[in-house]
Amino acid sequence: MDWMEFLTLAGANFVLIMVLMIALWGVSVAIRDSSIADIYWGTGLIIAAWFTWAISDGVEARRLLVLALVTAWGLRLSLYLLWRNWGAEDARYARLRRHIEEQGGNYALHSLKHVYLLQGFFMWVISLVLIFSLSLDAPPTLGVLAWTGVALWSVGMFFETVGDWQLARFRADPANAGKVMDRGLWRYTRHPNYFGEACVWSGFFLIALEHPAGIVTAVSLLTILYALIGPTGKGLLERRMSKKRPDFEAYVRRTSGFFPLPPKRD
Share of the chain above pLDDT 90, in %: 80
> 136 near 62, Cβ under 8 Å?
yes
pTM: 0.93
Instruction: Provide the residue ranges of all domains of the chain, joining segments of one domain with +.
Output: 1-140, 142-266
Average pLDDT over residues 56-85: 96
pLDDT at 266 over 70: no
pLDDT for res 24: 97
> When comparing pLDDT for 86 and 143, which is higher?
143
pLDDT of residue 230: 85
Average pLDDT, stretch 70-78? 98
Q: Which pLDDT does position 242 carry in this prediction?
A: 86
Cis peptide before 212, with omega less than 30 degrees from 0?
no
Q: How many CA atoms lie within 13 A of 198 on its CB side?
A: 17
Average pLDDT taken over every residue of the chain = 94
| Distance (Å, whole) CA 152 – CA 15 | 31
Kindly tell me if the per-residue pLDDT of 254 is higher than 80.
yes
- In this predicted structure, which of 82-96, 213-227, 245-259 has the lowest mean pLDDT? 82-96
What is the distance, to the nearest Å, from the Cα of residue 178 to the centroid of all Cα atoms in its chain? 27
pLDDT tens digits, one per residue of 179-188: 899 999 999 9
Q: Read off the pLDDT band of 198 (50, 70, 90).
A: very high
**Side chain identity at residue 130, one-letter code:** L
How many C-beta atoms lie closer than 10 Å to residue 153's C-beta? 24
Residue 207 has pLDDT above 90, yes or no: yes
Across 219-248, average pLDDT: 89
- For residues 50 and 232, what is the distance between their CA atoms, to the nearest angstrom? 30
Per-residue pLDDT, 1: 67
pLDDT reading at 244 higher than 70 = yes
The per-residue pLDDT for range 136-166, each reduced to its tens digit, is 999 999 999 999 999 999 999 999 999 999 9
pLDDT at 118 over 90: yes
Share of the chain above pLDDT 70, in %: 99
pLDDT category of residue 112 using cuts at 50, 70 and 90: very high
